Amino acid sequence: MTRSINVPRWLILLLVAFAARAITFGNPILHVDEEFYFTAARMMTQGAIPYVDIWDRKPIGLFLLYAPAASLGYPAGIWVYQALALICLFATALLTVRLATRAGWETGATAAGIAVILWPNLLDGQGGQAPVFYNLLMIAAATLVAPRSVETSAARRLAQGCAAMALVGITLQIKYSAVFEGAFFGLWLLWREWRDGARLPRLALLAVPLAGIALAPTLLAWAIYAGMGEGETWLYANFRSILDRQSDPLPSQLGNLAILVLILSPLAAMAMRARRRRSDAATQRAMANFLFAWAAASLFGVAIFGAWFNHYGLPLIPPLAACAAGVLGTHRRFAAIVLTLVFIGGQVTLLVKRLERGTPAQVAAIARAIGPGAGCLHVYSGTTMLYAMTGRCAVTRWIFPSHLSRDREAGAVGADAAAELQRILHRRPQWVVVRGPYRGEIPAIRAQMVAALSRDYVMAGDMPLGRDRYALWRARASSRATISRE
C-alpha cells in the first residue's frame, strides 16, 4: 500500500521560485533599471545624496531598499539584492495563496501562487524591479483591508486600516505609481464603514488619518530635503520633471501595450472567468468581489501612465493571479499546462535576454579592462553597473545615460544636455564608455561626444556585451586630468 506524501505549499512555492530564477543569480546586468538602482545606492552609501549628487525620478525609498546590499559592493551585493527580491516574490506568492483561499478558491490557490512566481519572468521582473519588492507591501495591505469571516470592532478596523495605509505610504516611496492601488484600499475602507452605517462626518474624520498616514513618508522625505535647502530639487526630481518629460512616439507605445496585453491576457482571461465561480457563502463572495475590484484598480493604474513597458505590468500579477485561482482550481490539467508553458516561456525569455544584454563574464571583462583607479569614469551609453564594478567616481549627477542622450528626456532633467555634456568633457574623465547608437538617441548629443572623443581620447578597447559592443575610450596623456571623488 502506497502512502501519499503531502508537500507543504510553502515548500512548493519556494522550490518553484528557485527554479524560476536560478539562471539569474549573480548576474549584475539583468535590467538597466536595477543596475542603476544598485549603482546609485552604492554611491549613496559612500556619501552621495540622491537628487543632489545622483539624479533620478524614483522615490528615495527605492534607493534605501537597495542600500544594504549595495553597501557590500560588487559582487556580494548583487547576490544579496537578488536574494531579497526572491524572498519578497516568495512571500507575495504565499499571501496570494491566502487571499485566494479566503475567497473560496482553495483548490486553485497553490497554482495562483505559482503564477505569481512565474509570470514576472515574462515581464522583465526576473530581478529586482521595484514592483517585485513593493507587491509584497501592497498585498499585505490588501490582506489587512479585505473582508473577513468574523466581524471586528470599529477600533480594530481602524487599526488595520491605519496599518494598511502605512504600508501604502512606504510603497509610495518605492514607486509613486502605486498611488492608484493605495487610493482603492483607502476608498474601500471608507465604503465599508459607510455600508455599516457611518455618516459623512465620521467618514471625513476617518479619511483624514488614513490619508495622512499614507502621505507621511513622502512628506517626511520632502521635509528632510527642505531642511537641507534642497526642497525644490526634490520636488522637481520627484514630480515636476515627470510632467516635463516627452512621450515616446505613439507607435512605440502601442507596440509596448500590445506586448503587455499579450503576456497578461491568459492571466486576465482566467481572472475574468472566475467571476462565474464565486462562492455562495457571503464572506467568500465578498472577498472575491474585493479581489476583482483590486485587480480593476491595478489595471487602471497601469493603463493611465502610458509607455507600457513590460515591467509596468508587474503590479497586476498578484490580484489577477488571486482571481485566476477560481479557474486554476477547477481545471487542474489546464492549470498544469498553462503554468508549465509559462515556466518554459520564462526560461526561454531569460536565455534570450542573456544573449541580447550580455553575460556576467562579458561585463566583468569590460570592468577589468577599465580597472580601478583614481581617475573618473563616464558611461555616456551603456550599463551604469560599471561604476559599481570598477569603483571609479562619476563626473556628473546624471549617471543614468539616457537622461542626457534620449530625445524624450530633453528639457526634463533639470539641465541642458549639451551644456552638461560639455561640463563633463571639461572635467576630463579618464575613461568614457560608449555603446552603439540606439533608437531615440539625440543625434546632436552623440555627435558632440564623438567629436570630443576623437580629439582628446584614444580607443583602448572595443568589447562585446550581448548583441552590442562597448567602445572604451581612455584620455590622452596630454589632456588627462584626475578628478577626485565628489
d(CA 284, CA 286): 5
What percentage of the chain exceeds 70 in pLDDT? 97
Model pLDDT for residues 237-251, shown as the tens digit of each residue:
999 999 999 888 888
Closest CA to 69 of 57, 58, 83: 83
Contact between 70 and 41 under an 8 Å Cβ cutoff? The reply is yes
**Phi, psi (rounded to 5 degrees) for 366:** -65, -45
d(CA 138, CA 140): 5
Contact between 398 and 55 under an 8 Å Cβ cutoff? The reply is yes
- Check residues 155 and 17 and name the one with the higher pLDDT: 17
Element (H, E) at 377: strand 377-379
Whether the model pTM is above 0.75: yes
**Phi, psi (rounded to 5 degrees) for 281:** -65, 130
Confidence class of residue 301 from pLDDT cuts 50, 70 and 90?
very high
User: What mean pLDDT is predicted for residues 287-294?
Assistant: 96
Confidence class of residue 478 from pLDDT cuts 50, 70 and 90?
low
Position 271, amino acid: A
**Cross-strand partners of 406:** 441
Q: What is the DSSP string of 226-266?
A: HHTT-HHHHHIIIIIHHHHSPPPPHHHHHHHHHHHHHHHHH
Element (H, E) at 460: strand 457-465
Question: Cα angle vertex 256, ends 254, 259, to 5°?
Answer: 110
Cell output for 387: 561604476
Q: At what angle do helices 106-118 and 332-357 cross, to 10 degrees?
A: 10
Q: What is the pLDDT of residue 384?
A: 98
Burial class, 362, CB count within 10 angstroms (exposed 0-12 / middle 13-18 / buried 19+): middle
Q: What is the pLDDT of residue 232?
A: 97
If you ran DSSP here, which 8-state letter would residue 52 be given?
T
Question: Cα angle vertex 263, ends 435, 20, to 5°?
Answer: 75
If you ran DSSP here, which 8-state letter would residue 49 be given?
-
d(CA 115, CA 270): 12
User: What mean pLDDT is predicted for residues 461-476?
Assistant: 97
**Cross-strand partners of 461:** 472
Residue in this structure with the C-alpha cell 507621511, named with its chain if needed: 216
